[in-house]
Structure 1
Amino acid sequence: MSKWARMFDKNSSFTITDIPKLSMLDFEEEGVQVNANAQEMNGTDGVILGGRTTFGSFKLILRFWYKGNDTDDYNLMKQRLRGLLFKRDPYYISHSDMPGKKYAVYCEDNAITDVGTQFGQFEVSFVVFKGYSESLKDTQSLNLMSDFWQYGNGLTASEDTKYTHHKNKFKIFNGSTDTIEPAMNRHDLEITINIDAPNGFKLVNKTNKTEFEYTKKLTTKDTLVIKGANPFLKNKRVGHNTTFEYVTIAEGYNDFEIQGDGAILKEIKFKFPFIYR
């Protein structure tokens, strides 16, 4: 089966390897850029850590081979790739060697190795500016039989792997290699809640002790949507009705509970991609 590479954003999608006579050879993910908040102190061993480690961007390299009909054809191909890859706005890349992942990128370089006058190898370097890759699909698109979800990506074939729940106690599985942290690390997380809560409610992650609290009355006619760390009701921000806290989702299974006097959950949905360092 031929390898493929695709670029896409919310408005469009294009399979690069659909270009006639262009084939993908291989890919490379460069190493993780670690930004440790560390300082050496005279008279002590090691270093002092002043805070959490963060991660910088890394490079994704895709290599292609093109066999042109003649010199003019080859030169036109070079120009076409320049216009295709170098965009003002970032986009996503996915490819057949890791079909369940996507990378938020901008193109940094297109190094060309000419082989004669009509053949060439293209080594395209992308900067993965978020510092991590993501699952191609989010948790609301979950299908265990789909090629979009790779078992090596953390997904488990378990009856607990659900992201829509109707009881006050439930589990959420995070197959990432990191905690889903919507505020500090700006990870995508959307939680949609339909609840009867005459005195407000708490959404508590008992696994990592994080919680979200809404202090006002809600009925099942209301739909509360938490986008990242910001709650919305009827498309209006309602953070002033909260304690300004938010939940994060640790790696693996997380035990959640809806708490509150008289609070009865009708439905809650978690929508997020897995992230990979």
Structure 2
Amino acid sequence: MRKLYIQPYNQNEFDLKNRLPSVEFLNLTSQAPQINGDWLTVPGSDGQQLNTLTYGATTVTLSLLIRAETMSAFRIAKNELQRIFYQRQFIRLRSTLEPGRCYWVVANPVDITPAEGSSWGAVSLTFTNPSGMAQSIVRSDELPAEASQLAYGMNLPAKDLSYVGKNERFNIYNPSDVAIDPYIQHHDLIITVTGVGSSFTLTNATNNTSIKVNSSLASGQTFKLDGVIPSINGNTQVDTDFGNIKLEQGDNDIRLSGLSNAKVTFSFPFLYF
């Protein structure tokens, strides 16, 4: 049986069928990637030049069938669906069709009405997905313990994946459909570093992005790079060269220098069209 799982913001996930037995989940689909081009027209020259390409918001469609015994029961189901979906915050949708992927969305206004002379009704609810992407339901640093939460078709190699490095050189694999770029695209990427040293440098040799930390790191302290914001034990007064780390699709050659007893953790959700 197909199932739809819903997680309101900062709440627990639940199965819609358990909340509303009269509502059948039919399908959950996403619009094709919305590619937006920034074009430059040069007077006197043919055509246009491409400056940048970005992915815009997409529409996610949820198809349901309400099979109520009476019109009163239909109205109750309708009111409960509106209570669930029309939130002031994001809600997360995922289904057994692609159990490892989810969408963080906001509901669009759609009237829920029965068929003429019936207490049954098919409805297609639409949602705006601002990121334009689906994402994995687990973060990278939850692997390999939560590998069972991922599924076929998520670009995973035939090997255990680890997102913790303890050497001066290690590999970080990004199975996403896009590069993870916290600086330009504001993607969710949290890097934590522990170790001992007066300064250190973290580099992705695959694309030459890096960050140099000039502040010392002592035993028991943790450096955190949350996107592009550095901190040590929560204190953001950290001396850096304002660098950042970007992860390309596939393998990334990560190098660390300047620390002893080092441990580096990469935490991010995988992103998919």
Deviation at 1:111, TM superposition (A): 4.4
Offset at residue 68 of structure 1 (A): 0.6
RMSD: 1.8
CA distance in 2, matches of 1:31, 1:192: 34
State the 1:113 CA deviation. 5.3
Structure 1 residues 236, 11: CA separation in 2 closer, same or farther (over 3 Å shift)? farther
> Structure 2 CA distance, aligned partners of 1:151 and 1:265?
36
Name the CA distance, whole Å, in 1 between partners of 2:84 and 2:110.
11
In 2, are the aligned partners of 1:222 and 1:233 still within 8 Å (CA)? yes
Which residue of structure 2 lines up, in the alignment, with residue 227 of structure 1?
226
8 Å Cα contact 2:37/2:54 also seen in 1: yes
Distance 1:17 1:40 in 2: 53
Determine if the alignment matches structure 1 residue 276 to structure 2 residue 266. Answer: no
Instruction: Name the SS for the 1:112 alignment partner.
Output: coil
SS at 1:152 equivalent: coil
**Partner residue, 2:100:** 100
User: Does structure 2 conserve the Cα–Cα contact (< 8 Å) formed by 1:224 and 1:231?
Assistant: yes
* Matches of 2:145 and 2:155, distance apart in 1: 12
Tell me the TM-score normalised to structure 1 length.
0.91
Residue 123, structure 1, aligned to residue 124, structure 2: yes
Aligned to 1:32: 33
Q: Tell me the equivalent position of 1:177.
A: 177
Give yes or no for contact 1:139–1:273 (8 Å, CA) kept in 2: yes
* CA deviation string 1:46-76 (max 9, x = no partner): 32112x2111100000101111111111122
Report what 2:112 is aligned to.
112
Matches within 5 A, 1:157-236: 157-159=158-160, 161-198=161-198, 200-236=199-235
Partner Cα distance (1:48, 1:145) in 2: 45
Figure out how many residues of one structure are paired with residues of the other and give that number.
271
Q: Distance in 1 between matches of 2:202 and 2:149?
A: 30
| SS across alignment from 1:274 | strand
The worse-fitting range, judged by mean Cα deviation, of 265-274 and 111-120 is 111-120
8 A Cα contact 1:7 1:92, kept in partner:
yes
**Following the alignment from structure 2 to structure 1, what is the Cα–Cα distance between the partners of residues 220 and 241?**
23
Is 2:154 aligned against 1:139? no
Q: How far did 1:217 drift? A: 1.9
The aligned amino acid for 2:22 is K
Aligned-residue sequence identity (percent) comes to 24
**Higher mean C-alpha deviation, range 219-228 or range 138-147:** 138-147
> Cα offset for 1:83?
1.7
Unmatched segments (≥5 aa) in structure 1: none
**Aligned equivalents of 1:186, 1:195: Cα separation in 2:** 27
8 Å CA contact 1:178–1:275 kept in 2: the answer is yes
Q: Give 5+ residue unaligned stretches, structure 2.
A: none
Structure 1 match to 2:156: 155
> Structure 1 residues 265, 205: closer, same or farther in 2, change over 3 A?
farther
| Counterpart-to-counterpart distance in 1, 2:196 and 2:89 | 42
Moved more, 12-21 or 202-211: 12-21
SS in 1 for 2:78: helix
User: Residues 32 and 58 of structure 1 are in contact (CA less than 8 Å); yes or no, is this contact kept in structure 2?
Assistant: yes
* 1:254 to 2:252 alignment: yes
**Which residue identity lines up with residue 47 of structure 2 in the other structure?**
G
Contact in 2 for aligned 1:74/1:117 (Cα 8 Å): no
2:110 is paired with a residue whose SS is strand
Higher mean C-alpha displacement, 78-87 vs 202-211: 78-87
Distance in 2 between residues matched to 1:145 and 1:274, nearest whole Å: 14
